[in-house]
Structure 1
Amino acid sequence: MHENLFTPVTAGALAAKNRIVMAPMTRNRAGAGEAPGELNAEYYAQRAGAGLIITEGTQPSAEGQGYPHTPGLHTDRQREGWRTVAEAVHAEGGLIVGQIMHAGRISHPSIIGQAPLAPSAVRPDGEVFTGTGTEPFEEPREATTAEVEALVREYADAARVAIEAGLDGVELHGANGYLIAQFGATGTNHRTDRFGGDATGRATFLRETVAAAVAAVGADRVGLRLSPGNPFNDLQDDEPREGFHAALAIAEEAGLAYVHVCETAPDAGWSAVADARERFSGTLIASNGFTQEWSFADMDALVADGKADLVAIGRRFLANPDLTERIRTGAELNAPDEGTFYGGGAEGYVDYPTLQAAA
């Protein structure tokens, strides 16, 4: 069933056994020192049937953390924790890349002990969960030019740590209102230095971050995630398509392993996935984003028609560790338990039943 999803494909140095990607999903279950542990390794290894696993968003520095108990990629302890995860996934025949995510203004002093850094001092509307409850977002501090340059180096350092840990590559999180997206959007970037201005200027942070990560680990092990037009995390952008095109040009010039695109909303009037297919000649991963849910038949057709090379699946992978086998056989899916999505232990994390267990 859906045989097009089960053909191999290569993305840079990544040789995927099928076209099904486990999308990055925050689960808030890092251990001491915000390092992955055996429970995290079990979770990812259970899902190694995916052609490629993209980890949850992983902060490149303590200041980049956006939520409680998310893992990092900036200490020795975290590197060794990710080594445990990588070895477990590889033992099951899987591939796994680490998603590097700096939250920027989508953090809080209760989490990082200081005002969050951002392109500009624009406070997001809404609240953030700090571990003991929710608190309103606070106004971030505009990063100096020197601090922005240091942020670029943090991404490169995190990429290096990921490869040292045995992960197969990294994905730069340029989507969903986090730091890279904040630099790219008109509503959150009011800078007058080289990191601001028009769409090309606002893409300078991404351009320099991509270049630094590529220099650290090689273009064939670096991917980029984008979600143009997505207002998540109160991201306001008057020029989403222009910024998206600037980002795709950067990815094309760098020769990245892949671009991972979240589709625009059905009423947006344009398709980000179609735009990416036209403007990026490398491997394209398509995700249905937050506003729709593609069927497996839809995903198979995307691959069959050449509109995408791989497809990313989130919540259904969360609840079905053997999702690829269920797609292959047409088996019924487990329903996700939203009450255990964020934080906790094994319940709702590694205890979803497999077909084999049910039998």
Structure 2
Amino acid sequence: MKLLRKILYPFSLIYGSITAIRNYLYNNNHMQSTKFKTPIIVVGNLSVGGTGKTPQIEYLIRLLKDNFKVAVLSRGYKRKSKGFVLANETVNAETIGDEPFQYYKKFETIKVGVDANRVNGINQLKQLQSSPEVILLDDAYQHRKVDAGFNILLTSYNNLYVDDAMLPTGNLRENISGAERAKVIIVTKCPQDLDEETQFKIAQKLKPTLYQTVFFTTIDYAQSVKGNKEIKIDDLKNYEVLLVTGIANPVPLTNFLNSKGIIYSHLEYPDHYFFSEKDIADIKNKFNKLNSKNKIILTTEKDYMRTFDKFDYLHYLPIKTKFINHKTDFDNLINTYVEQSSRNS
């Protein structure tokens, strides 16, 4: 591993230099960013994958949807369509991507759009008959063509960006100095019992600027898995479980299942994986070989969006993001930004 890092290090220097020049050009107005009157909130990270952007977007939707007309705009990673697509009853995970499809299915009152060109996507949303009063940009921290009013930077508890390295040696998309663009830094996937002393030490390690606030969240797992029927988590001990995941980091999920004493076999696939006919046949074959009459296929909610019509006995475990403390402070920051920006628009 050390040898591989040494081999890749020169490429990391080149990549880091390119991203640094790009950020310099944007920071000094040599490259143009578009600023919108509509409040724009970005949720993203400095690294690739696995920091909990989806549950954080859903947290913001729940926070805002009763008082504002909310829209979510995503790139629609690995979708099979091009250009701007507005979610409607004809779309699925293949046409708009698994995460946008999840937002669309869960929240009936919001608008969900996908577009690799975020400026165009925002303009398309603003032209709707019922135009949004706040737009959430999913995974757009490096999309500097949009000058967002509020940037939320996520970093995983077990892989802080300050401990990471630039691609391809590590997982960083840009230098850690990019964290300075954030209004809020959220350390995600923390242990539920993370004490304030440890929080303080982590915050010191991140070295936030004077205008930044650091928050800490954990994964809040549902008490039941959902599918053609609900099964309580504690009752899963009586089932044979075939766990199928296609996410960046399934470790928090497997740790949770282990903590509940649930016995399972795990088939792990890459993030945002679209299952081939052969994959589906292999999964069905492994499931059929399970001996118990009580058996299920268990997956994540995001994976369920790509597979719900592929398998019988398929269930998923819903999750939410939960602030360990200072939840009200975070909510107030978001609401104040949206309210003030709305008055000025």
Taking structure 2 as the reference length, the TM-score comes to: 0.31
Larger Rg: 2
Taking structure 1 as the reference length, the TM-score comes to: 0.30
Higher relative CO (Cα under 8 Å, sequence separation at least 6) belongs to 2
Kindly indicate which of the two structures has a greater share of residues assigned to strand: 2
